[in-house]
Chains A and B, each alone.
Chain A
């Protein structure tokens, strides 16, 4: 069971990121969120949602979802320069715990206004 992200529905509103930040810090902040909307390619309108799980980094891109083992780049050398630097802080944060202490489940899912996040 894990968070599923459908990037075709996502409107990059960052509600998931703020909801996750609240779950971590019990205040509004983006510093500790383990889900992140990448925004570093603004002029190209190219954005992904990246989720840090216990063992994986899940990268939901418009063209598909990539699951990468933490610690591996999963990319060929020529693609390394194309990574979105805005997602890097995520690697230092706590992984997703599916908001296990919340009876209604993950907050990111509950705050997504376009139902782009589900459990599966």
Chain B
């Protein structure tokens, strides 16, 4: 496989510490396109060894608008279903440039380990110095030891290490869209973190044609109905929960994931004046809110924006899904900040809205801002969402941005795929891949 790829798959056996590098088979790409199409195939191939598959989308890390997404594909440790968790911010992009399009992690380590993936090399490292550390400290420790602050760290905290059903694989210091308890799976395999960094070059079959098409697509997209709106509170308002005034006093700024036209993340300052523009003297002045549902969960408990964000920060440090913490604490009648903070080790029980779909419900279940010409009675929405998420996870498009950009049509994505790779992808192939993923 020559274009839009690092052309490498790593097969990591944690049990034996053996790592095998394979070429990405062009026939596999022709048949499965990329992203979840390929990760599902790799999962099936190694399923007897309860694998964790890390994968990039076909366009991840390119100039295609919102090409921010990589993913974890694995069996949900609670339900046994194979699911996909989104990896956004800069982590998706960094994985593509680390030198591997896909990483299969199988087996169980005899002692805590972390995986260091960089510049086409994958190494297993002893994690004795970071096992037991919270997500923030472990990320700092890896970055400090490698001397590179731009390493992207997929890591677990105490929740994942101790086998909590809601252990989350976090990204650096922040919550991810892992609603499946993949942190528990990492913990079970004694895998503390996967650290990613790389400087690869992705070649393009038709460079100028591809970039021109990306440019035209961005022009069409960026003036869409979301134009002028930014951040997590706008997402919430669009979902019918208007928390804009509640959150506004602590907003520092809004941040996008890699090359994503709508910033879905909001940084709030908790220990610093939010209007402070210069570099804060404080090392940890706030928190980047990446999950609208976690925020809404604490909002619904009657907590202030400050306390809700502080709790999100504590959840991310512990590596636990804030949505579960909010919902299960509310059910238990606990609404005080300190008692919720102390509850992380005891959060247990079923969640009400556990998705039956393979895609994370981190992405809202309906169009955002945009008109996708769905029937007003809502009868098409669930199927539309599944298909839209499948597109996002195949091509590497930000799963929330996919809900606000009707301009990113399937036809356009297929056209770009052919231009970028030089391979002919037909609507029939796409139909087959979507069908396989949703099976």
Interface residues of A (CB under 8 A from B): 11-15, 18-19, 22, 25-31, 39-46, 61-63, 82, 85-86, 107, 110-111, 113-114
Residues of B at the A interface (CB closer than 8 Å) are: 4, 61-63, 65, 90, 93, 97, 136, 149-150, 172-173, 199-204, 207, 211, 214-215, 218, 221-222, 230, 252-261, 263, 267, 269, 277-280, 282-286, 288
**8 additional A-B residue pairs with CB within 8 Å, beyond A27-B203, A28-B202, A113-B261:** A22-B63, A43-B173, A43-B283, A44-B280, A45-B255, A45-B267, A86-B149, A113-B260
A44 and B260 contact, Cβ closer than 8 Å, known pairs A18-B63, A25-B201, A39-B150: no
Do B252 and A42 touch (CB < 8 A)? no
When the two chains form their complex, are residues B65 and A113 in contact, meaning their CB atoms are under 8 A apart? Answer: yes
Residue of A nearest to B262 (CB): A113
Min CB–CB distance A16 → chain B (angstroms) = 10
For residue A82, which residue of chain B has the nearest CB? Answer: B279
Q: Would you mind naming 25 contact pairs between A and B with Cβ atoms under 8 Å apart?
A: A11-B255, A13-B257, A14-B93, A26-B204, A27-B204, A27-B207, A28-B202, A31-B201, A42-B172, A43-B136, A43-B285, A44-B279, A44-B280, A44-B285, A46-B279, A62-B253, A62-B278, A63-B278, A86-B150, A111-B218, A111-B259, A113-B65, A113-B256, A114-B222, A114-B261
Does B61 contact A62, Cβ atoms closer than 8 Å?
no
Q: Among A15, A44, A110, which residue has its beta carbon within 8 angstroms of that of B283?
A: A44
User: What's the Cα separation between A13 and B61 when bound, in Å?
Assistant: 11
Nearest CB of B to A12, in Å: 5
Q: Give A41's nearest chain B residue, CB to CB.
A: B279
Closest 10 CB pairs of A and B: A113-B261, A13-B256, A28-B202, A29-B201, A11-B256, A40-B149, A45-B267, A11-B263, A62-B277, A63-B277
Given contacts A27-B207, A40-B149, A45-B253, contact A18 B267 (CB under 8 A): no
